[in-house]
């Protein structure tokens, strides 16, 4: 299991060091600094073995988190734990920065003592942790409160405490999708997928039993047999994963998503689709080399969705060679700028309706070089935000039952929002 | 005092004062400062007593800080750590469960021997605490204590309490108990601490649905160590584990994949469920690739294993492994590896287009790997070879140095795979000769020039140009250059005589590399004695190269599959390669496919042998001690049967020796036979030593040398006696990646002088995954040495890879010779002469044979009936046996009652070295 956990700043100074196992000595702290943080070359693997000791690291801005072990641990678990650790810290004191860590080091030690015992991860749900790891001390708890805390930390529903009350029962569902595309210069889709998340923010009283439904093809097809004409289209979900509150065996058997949600925000599910994706934009590049010192670039973007909808925050990034000396750009819409430090022409458009087209053309002057190697021509990438789900996912219902309290499904105010963003949306040129 | 990081005395003094302050806030701030110094590595152990004094407080935050300090410094101040014990014991009784748990958690982290005994009582209470939070903490504490003092944990009976916690009502307690037990069990590989049976498995599977994500991982990892009894149990566990594949935590998913991959081995392939399961595995594996990059890396390393073990799972998922421009380099390299493994005729066009794209990227390692991948595609998918070659040529035209070199290395392999097809490109390759500066690329180019010397007009000039700097080249290049020039000479002898002499003298006289010199001499002698033979040797047809490269050896792959998700699967090394101590030494293996209905053994033998007959585990002779010397001193050439027999005195010595200590062991062996005697089939061979039999009386094969211990060579075998000749039947299986040749066998000296009567007849090389059956006749004229047990045989098998040692036991009945029928008179006289000491008797129970049937059956194994008489309704059979070394065994067999279905048969063995007293009867 995890033998120790260290947090370093970008210089390699230790900010937090907690050792769980006897086989990890103080020299391990230095070994990682010397071999990884101060290494001359770029790190080639997130797992490093130095003198029969294995180091797992993740980096958050310029902070290094490293877990150390001498055993054959579950590597996936260690990384999952490190991410979770980051989430917990962020939930407690915001951004993970050197200053925040230094100011909260007592809290961090307290957390580390709680969520990792002898190197075994324990309950790491922020909701539960916040009930008893506070920076104010917990002397004033009554006996009932104490047993409530322990039963929550160890219980079946470790993510929610009993006795939550709201005057207004409300819930918000966000369907957040990122659409990924890799397209060849000829306009052929090399790979495209949508990875989506359903984020739920709930302010519900008691222990509400929820059931979530969407236009999942398997479910719709099953119901379709019953004669109930399904409205709209259904989508084929390649795979999905759920927050630990969702009863997986029930999903496996009936494909129904039922759960008691944590209070506040949680990521209910993640999913991935590859079929029938609506690609909101198409990028048509045209690069022409005019002699050895000049490039002509023309890029057309076409929006491909309902004209009544508006895409926002559109940004097209056209890479330029390293030996670019000057760029002249003309665009019909938005603003375009050559950014020498990023080796790219960045073209920004604030808003664009569906079924429109826009174009940019640029002349790139090059310095003559004797570099034998050709320019690698990185792909043209794009960023945008659209108010629909490119996968076609629709929320059909989210039912809430709370048998013990006197509010029904109808009393809950529900909000649903769809946002489609660009993931890695690239067109080769 | 000596400090690791300087901290001035003044500072310590100041802190001391603050720690002893009356004001709580000031105290707390002081402890915080101490901890802060501790974190950055300053030595603040001098403050130990002052900090411990702050321990007794109601303020939980302060308490935790003091505990943190204690955990760090208790070891360096063991005597003072005792001071803290009282507070711990008191805290363990606190009304607040959080404080009870905190105390027991911290106590376990104080690794001081003296403290452990004080820990026992509080721990015992906490293990039975009413609050699950305390129990789950106490469960982990048992593992901590075990780490400090294993004996104490066993003596105090904590292990049993821990086992009870597996049935706890709280899922988190169960999960932590499982984690603790798994860890303890790992350091005791042979204990059955985690006594997993269907009932306990059921409990674990129930807890699996309810506990935290981390608990699910502990339970799944523990489940993976279980071996179900049959395919039905295996399927039911799989069914209950599959829902975990939708968990958001990647580690839960990977651990579930591990359980499924392992238990799938046991499912029959024609089962519907089997194919359903295969289909269910693909989507979660693909989803892992949308996790954070570090987890993607872990997932990809595992997918690499899964693709090798079961390529069918991901064969349609090629696209998800396409490299993204912004992937970290470690993800890119792993994706590329998997792309090559999945490349097939169906997707090769896409793959090639991608690889071509990658070859223009920035990262040198990645580009090299991409170029190499193009070559591997050509070798793997024949239809694509042409396009691959033209792609490689395009890349060579870029003149980027490392791309060109990498391309030449792979083109060499393409030539090997498709001879006489793409040689038209040689001209292009030759243009780049000067830019090659890496040994591998130079060697590849030289190989190409040598191999196709007849088509390259200026081959001699090209090779000569390399020869100038011969001594500065690396060995790889030197060897290749030597061979290439010899090839050239054999193809164009007239023009290149001078060149070949030059290289031969460079290699043999001016080089101090033994490999190079030896190869030089061999060529020299070949060329000078028999040029025709030289041509046959040097220009011989080359064996085909395999399509897949970098495959993990099957035995290692099996082990790694059992370690999916762990570091071992990330390193692609068994845990023993990177874990110190006893942990992880145990090799894990995939379960064998066993149907619930079918059984290889017939039921009656199964029950008879079930209780007390563990299969004689073949013991591997450790490669040390004088035995090794003995075996190595023996010439590996097989002894000739026509050689002079050993002197008679030697034989007598052997015989006498057997008479001394041998009798006991022989009889001892006979006694252990009893349980087998239940079946008629086994009556034939009353000397069986823990020998497993099929119901038809034929010896079962035993694995003598497992592949894991012999670099992939597995040997199983049995013995038989046919037409007076003892035969050793061997089955050799090559489980390694490379071809095995040059087999030879040799025995160590043994009790009965067994020795191979001829060489081991393995004429054709044994390819990967091939099996060959060999029958080796044995003679009994080899050197004699008494073994323990008597019928132990130590064997050395050599092949082109190494020499391997194992030992096996042969049934004594193999040694009963056909002329073992003693004349009646001689028998009578001898019977009387034999001293009582040499006598032994035992019973064979439940044998449903009458005396005649028994007699004829025994005769089949060369146990001859000399006389028979009936006394009071009992049949008495007198029998004789002669062993191959001339020892006679006389026996009396009493069959008490014909009427009862159950016979009591009494053997009376009298062992005598007969050759001493009697001439051999004819």
pLDDT digits (tens, 9 = 90+) for A148-167: 777 777 766 778 877 888 98
Separation between Cα atoms, residue B590 and residue B310, nearest integer Å: 14
Of the residues B25, B104, B212, B281, the best mutation for testing chain A's interface (the one with the most A CB atoms within 10 Å of its CB) is B212
**Interface touch A150/B64, C-beta < 8 Å:** no
Give residue B401's pLDDT: 87
CA gap B168, B155 in Å, rounded: 23
Among A20-24, A217-221, A350-354, B624-628, whose mean pLDDT is lowest?
B624-628
Structure tokens at B286: 């693909």
Banded model confidence at residue B6, pLDDT cuts 50, 70, 90: low
Whether residue B26 is predicted with pLDDT greater than 90 in this model: the reply is: no
DSSP three-state, residue B747: strand
Say if residues B713 and B749 touch (Cβ distance below 8 Å). Answer: no
Largest separation between any pair of C-alpha atoms in chain A: 83
Ligand-binding site membership of A11 (annotated): no
Are the C-beta atoms of residues A89 and A108 closer than 8 Å to each other?
yes
Calculate the average pLDDT of chain B: 79
User: Among partner residues B298, B353, B579, which is closest to A71 by beta-carbon distance?
Assistant: B579
Average pLDDT over residues A395-414: 88
CB-CB neighbors (< 8 A) of B321 in chain A: none
Q: What's the distance, Cα to Cα, between the start and end of chain B in Å?
A: 94
Contact partners, residue B158, CB within 8 Å, separation at least 6: B123, B124, B127, B142, B145, B146
| CA neighbours closer than 13 Å in the CB half-sphere of residue A407 | 20
Note whether A51 contacts B: Cβ–Cβ < 8 A. no
In angstroms, the separation between the Cα of residue B420 and the nearest Cα of chain A is 33
The shares of helix, strand and coil residues in chain B, as percent rounded to the nearest 5, are 55, 10, 35
Edge-to-edge strand list for the sheet holding A14-19: A14-19, A4-8, A63-69, A53-60, A47-50
Give chain B positions within 8 Å (CB) of A193.
Answer: 320
Between residues B419 and A414, the one the model is more confident about: A414
Question: pLDDT value at position B653?
Answer: 36
- What mean pLDDT is predicted for residues B94-109? 88
What's the CA angle centered on B304, arms B303 and B308, to 5 degrees?
A: 110
Helix, strand, or coil (residue A184): coil
Supply φ then ψ for residue B844, to 5 degrees: -115, 120
What pLDDT score was predicted for residue B339? 93
Question: Within an 8 Å CB–CB cutoff, is residue A207 touching chain B?
Answer: no
Q: How confident is the model at residue B313 (pLDDT cuts 50, 70, 90)?
A: very high
For residue A192, which of A271, A276, A269 has the smallest C-alpha distance?
A276
Identify the residue whose tokens are 């037409």: B723
Taking the C-alpha atoms of residue B307 and residue B374, their distance in angstroms, rounded to an integer, is 19
Summarised one tens digit per residue, pLDDT across range B573-628 is 999 888 876 554 567 777 776 544 443 333 333 333 333 333 434 444 443 333 33
Closest Cα in chain B, distance from residue A32 (Å): 15
Helical (H) or strand (E) element with A346: strand A344-353
Question: Are A318 and A421 in contact, with CB atoms under 8 Å apart?
Answer: no
More confident residue, B873 or A48: A48
CA distance B225 to B216: 15
Neighbouring residues of B250: CB distance < 8 A, sequence distance ≥ 6: A76, A79, A80, B288, B291, B295, B298, B299
**A339 in a known ligand binding site:** yes
CA distances (Å), origin B485, targets B241, B428, B495: 62, 21, 12
According to DSSP H, which parts of B320-383 are helical? 329-342, 348-358, 364-380
CB B69 within 8 A of CB B83: no
- The average confidence (pLDDT) of chain A is 88
Whether A120 has its CB under 8 Å from any CB of chain B: the answer is yes
Q: Cα(B266)–Cα(A333) distance, rounded to whole angstroms?
A: 64
Is residue B272 within 8 A of residue B237, CB to CB? The reply is: no
Residue B584 is nearest to which of A72, A154, A242, comparing CB atoms? A72
Predicted local confidence at residue B59, as pLDDT: 78
Is beta strand A63-69 parallel, antiparallel or unpaired with respect to A116-117? unpaired
Number of A to B CB contacts under 8 A, please give it: 272
CB contacts, 8 Å: A424 with chain B: 324-326
Q: Does B662 touch chain A (CB under 8 A)?
A: no
Average pLDDT over residues B210-226: 92
What is the arrangement of strands in the sheet containing B713-722, beginning at the earlier edge strand?
B702-705, B713-722, B725-734, B771-779, B755-756
Q: Are residues A77 and B214, on separate chains, in Cβ contact within 8 Å?
A: yes
Contact between B165 and B143 under an 8 Å Cβ cutoff? The reply is no
- CA–CA distance, B156 with B125 (Å, rounded to integer): 13
Tell me: the pLDDT tens digits for A61-85? 899 999 999 999 999 999 999 999 9
Residue ranges of A 393-412 with Cβ closer than 8 A to chain B: none
């Amino acid at each position: 299991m995890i033998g120790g956990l260290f947090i370093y700043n970008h210089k390699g100074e230790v900010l937090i060091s907690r050792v769980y196992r006897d086989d990890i000595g103080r020299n391990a702290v230095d070994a990682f600094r010397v071999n990884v943080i101060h290494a001359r070359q770029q790190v080639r693997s997130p797992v490093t073995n130095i003198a029969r000791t294995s180091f797992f690291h993740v980096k958050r801005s310029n902070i290094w988190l490293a877990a150390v072990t001498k055993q054959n641990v579950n590597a996936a678990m260690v990384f999952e734990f490190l991410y979770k650790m980051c989430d917990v810290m962020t939930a407690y004191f915001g951004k993970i920065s050197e200053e925040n860590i230094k100011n909260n080091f007592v809290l961090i030690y307290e957390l580390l003592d709680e969520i990792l015992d002898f190197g075994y991860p324990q309950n790491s749900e922020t909701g539960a942790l916040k009930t008893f790891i506070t920076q104010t001390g917990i002397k004033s708890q009554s006996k009932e409160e104490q047993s409530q805390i322990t039963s929550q930390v160890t219980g079946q529903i470790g993510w929610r405490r009993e006795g939550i009350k709201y005057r207004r029962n409300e819930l918000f569902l966000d369907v957040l999708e990122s659409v990924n595309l890799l397209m060849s210069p000829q306009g052929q889709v090399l790979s495209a997928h949508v990875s989506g998340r359903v984020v739920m923010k709930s302010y519900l009283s008691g222990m509400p039993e929820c059931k979530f439904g969407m236009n999942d093809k398997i479910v719709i097809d099953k119901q379709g047999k019953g004669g109930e004409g399904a409205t709209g289209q259904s989508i084929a979900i390649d795979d999905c994963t759920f927050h630990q509150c969702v009863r997986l065996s029930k999903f496996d058997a009936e494909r129904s998503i039922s759960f008691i949600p944590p209070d506040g925000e949680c990521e209910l599910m993640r999913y991935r689709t590859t079929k029938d994706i609506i690609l909101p934009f198409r990028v048509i590049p045209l690069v022409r080399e005019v002699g050895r010192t000049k490039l002509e670039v023309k890029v057309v973007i076409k929006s491909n969705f309902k004209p009544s909808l508006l895409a926002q925050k559109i940004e097209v990034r056209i890479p330029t060679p390293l030996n670019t000396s000057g760029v002249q750009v003309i665009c019909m819409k938005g603003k375009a700028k050559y950014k020498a430090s990023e080796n790219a022409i960045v073209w920004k458009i604030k808003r664009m309706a569906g079924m429109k087209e826009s174009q940019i053309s640029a002349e790139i002057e090059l310095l003559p070089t004797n570099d034998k190697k050709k320019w690698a021509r990185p792909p043209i990438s794009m960023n945008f935000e659209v108010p629909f789900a490119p996968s076609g996912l629709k929320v059909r219902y989210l039912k809430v039952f709370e048998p013990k309290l006197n509010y029904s499904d109808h009393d809950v105010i529900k909000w649903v929002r769809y946002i489609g963003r660009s993931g890695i949306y690239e067109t080769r040129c | 005092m000596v400090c690791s990081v300087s901290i001035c005395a003044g500072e310590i003094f100041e802190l001391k004062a603050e720690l002893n302050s009356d004001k709580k806030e000031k105290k707390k701030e002081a402890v915080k400062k101490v901890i802060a110094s501790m974190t950055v590595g300053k030595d603040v152990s001098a403050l130990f007593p002052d900090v411990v004094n702050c321990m007794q407080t109601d303020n939980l935050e302060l308490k935790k800080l003091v505990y943190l300090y204690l955990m760090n410094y208790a070891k360096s101040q063991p005597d003072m750590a005792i001071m803290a014990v009282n507070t711990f014991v008191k805290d363990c009784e606190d009304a607040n469960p959080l404080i009870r748990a905190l105390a027991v958690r911290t106590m376990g982290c104080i690794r001081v021997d003296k403290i452990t005994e004080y820990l026992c009582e509080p721990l015992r209470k906490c293990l039975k605490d009413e609050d699950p939070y305390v129990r789950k903490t106490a469960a982990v504490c048992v593992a901590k204590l075990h780490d400090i003092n294993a004996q104490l944990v066993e003596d105090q009976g904590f292990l049993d309490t821990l086992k009870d916690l597996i049935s706890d009502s709280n899922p988190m307690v169960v999960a932590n108990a499982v984690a603790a037990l798994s860890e303890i069990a790992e350091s005791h590989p042979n204990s059955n601490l985690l006594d997993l049976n269907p009932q306990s498995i059921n409990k674990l599977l129930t807890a699996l649905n309810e506990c935290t994500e981390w608990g699910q991982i502990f339970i799944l990892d523990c489940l993976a160590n279980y071996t179900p009894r049959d395919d039905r149990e295996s399927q039911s566990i799989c069914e209950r584990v599959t829902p975990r594949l939708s968990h958001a935590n990647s580690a839960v998913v990977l651990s579930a994949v591990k359980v499924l991959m392992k238990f799938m081995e046991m499912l029959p392939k024609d089962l519907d469920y089997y194919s359903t399961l295969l289909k269910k595995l693909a989507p979660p594996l693909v989803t892992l690739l949308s996790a954070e990059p570090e987890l993607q890396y872990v997932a990809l390393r595992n997918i690499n294993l899964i693709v090798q073990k079961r390529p069918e799972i991901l064969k349609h998922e090629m696209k998800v492994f396409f490299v993204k421009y912004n992937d970290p380099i470690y993800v890119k390299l792993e994706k590329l590896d998997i792309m090559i493994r999945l490349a097939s005729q169906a997707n090769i066009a896409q793959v090639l287009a991608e690889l071509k794209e990658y070859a223009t990227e920035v990262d040198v390692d990645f580009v090299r790997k991409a170029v190499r991948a193009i070559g591997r595609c050509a070798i793997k998918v024949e239809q694509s070879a042409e396009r691959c070659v033209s792609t490689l040529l395009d890349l060579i035209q870029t003149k980027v140095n490392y791309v060109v070199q990498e391309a030449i290395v792979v083109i060499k392999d393409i030539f090997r795979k498709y001879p006489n097809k793409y040689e038209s490109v040689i001209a292009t390759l030759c243009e780049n000769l000067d830019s090659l500066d890496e040994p591998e690329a130079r060697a590849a180019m030289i190989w190409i020039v040598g191999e196709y010397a007849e088509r390259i007009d200026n081959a001699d000039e090209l090779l000569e140009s390399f020869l100038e700097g011969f001594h500065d080249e690396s060995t790889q290049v030197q060897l290749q250059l030597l061979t290439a020039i010899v090839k050239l000479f054999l193809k164009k002898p007239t023009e290149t005589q001078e060149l070949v002499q030059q290289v031969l003298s460079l290699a043999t006289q001016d080089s101090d590399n033994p490999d190079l010199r030896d190869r030089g001499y061999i060529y020299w002698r070949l060329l000078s004695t028999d040029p025709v033979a030289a041509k046959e040797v040097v220009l011989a047809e080359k064996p085909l190269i395999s399509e897949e490269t970098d495959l993990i050896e099957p035995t290692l792959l099996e082990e790694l599959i059992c370690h999916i998700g762990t570091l071992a699967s990330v390193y692609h090394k068994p845990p023993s390669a990177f874990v110190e101590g006893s942990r992880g030494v145990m090799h894990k293996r995939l379960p064998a496919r066993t149907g619930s209905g079918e059984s290889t053994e017939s039921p009656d033998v199964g029950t008879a042998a079930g209780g007390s007959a563990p299969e004689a585990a073949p013991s591997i002779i450790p490669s040390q001690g004088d035995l090794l010397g003995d075996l190595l001193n023996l010439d590996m050439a097989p002894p000739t049967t026509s050689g002079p027999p050993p002197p008679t005195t030697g034989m007598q010595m052997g015989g006498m020796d057997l008479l001394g200590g041998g009798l006991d062991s022989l009889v001892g062996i006979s006694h252990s036979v009893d349980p087998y005697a239940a079946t008629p089939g086994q009556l034939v061979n009353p000397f069986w030593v823990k020998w497993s039999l099929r119901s038809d009386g034929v010896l079962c094969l035993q694995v003598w040398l497992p592949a894991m211990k012999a670099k992939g060579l597995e040997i199983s075998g049995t013995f038989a006696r046919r037409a007076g000749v003892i035969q050793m039947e061997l089955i050799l299986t090559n489980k390694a990646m490379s071809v095995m040749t040059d087999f030879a066998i040799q025995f160590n000296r043994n009790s009965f002088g067994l020795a191979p009567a001829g060489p081991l007849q393995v004429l054709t090389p044994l390819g990967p995954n091939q099996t060959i059956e060999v029958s080796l006749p044995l003679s009994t004229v080899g050197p004699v040495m008494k073994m323990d047990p008597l019928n132990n045989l130590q064997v050395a098998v050599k092949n082109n890879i190494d020499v391997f040692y194992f030992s096996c036991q042969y049934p004594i009945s193999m040694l009963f010779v056909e002329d073992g029928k003693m004349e009646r008179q001689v028998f009578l006289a001898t019977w009387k002469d034999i001293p009582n000491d040499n006598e032994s008797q035992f019973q064979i129970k439940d044998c449903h044979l009458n005396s005649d049937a028994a007699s004829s059956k025994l005769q089949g194994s060369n146990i001859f009936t000399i006389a028979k008489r009936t006394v009071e309704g009992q049949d008495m059979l007198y029998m004789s046996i002669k062993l191959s070394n001339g020892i006679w065994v006389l026996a009396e067999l009493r069959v008490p009652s014909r009427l009862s279905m159950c016979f009591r048969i009494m053997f009376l063995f009298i062992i005598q070295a007969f050759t001493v007293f009697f001439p051999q009867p004819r």
